[in-house]
Amino acid sequence: MHTAEMIRNEALRKRRALPVFVRTQKSRRIAVRLRDLFSEASEGMPVLCFYPLYDEVDLREWYQELLTEGRRLFFPVTENGSITFFMVQTLDDFTEGAFHVMEPTDRTHPFLGGKEYFCVTPGVAFDTSGHRIGFGKGYYDRFFAKFPAGKKIGVAFEEQIFTNVPVNATDVPVDEIVFA
CATH number, position 150: 3.40.50.10420
Whether the per-residue pLDDT at 45 is higher than 80: the answer is: yes
Domain that holds residue 52: 4-179
pLDDT of residue 39: 76
Domain tally, the chain: 1
Using alpha carbons, list the distances in angstroms from residue 51 to 45, 57, 88: 19, 9, 12
Query: End-to-end distance of the chain based on CA atoms, in angstroms?
Result: 26
What are the pLDDT digits (tens) for 102-111? 999 999 999 9
User: What's the rounded Cα separation, in Å, for the pair 57 and 164?
Assistant: 21
Q: Between β-strands 118-121 and 132-133, what pairing exists: parallel, antiparallel or unpaired?
A: unpaired
pLDDT of residue 41: 63
pTM: 0.95
Distance of CA 115 to the CA centre of its chain: 19
Which residues 6+ apart lie within 8 Å of 11 measured at CB?
A: 124, 125, 133, 159, 160, 162
- Band (pLDDT 50/70/90 cuts) for residue 1 is low
What are the pLDDT digits (tens) for 112-140? 987 889 999 999 999 999 999 999 899 99
For the chain, the average pLDDT equals 94
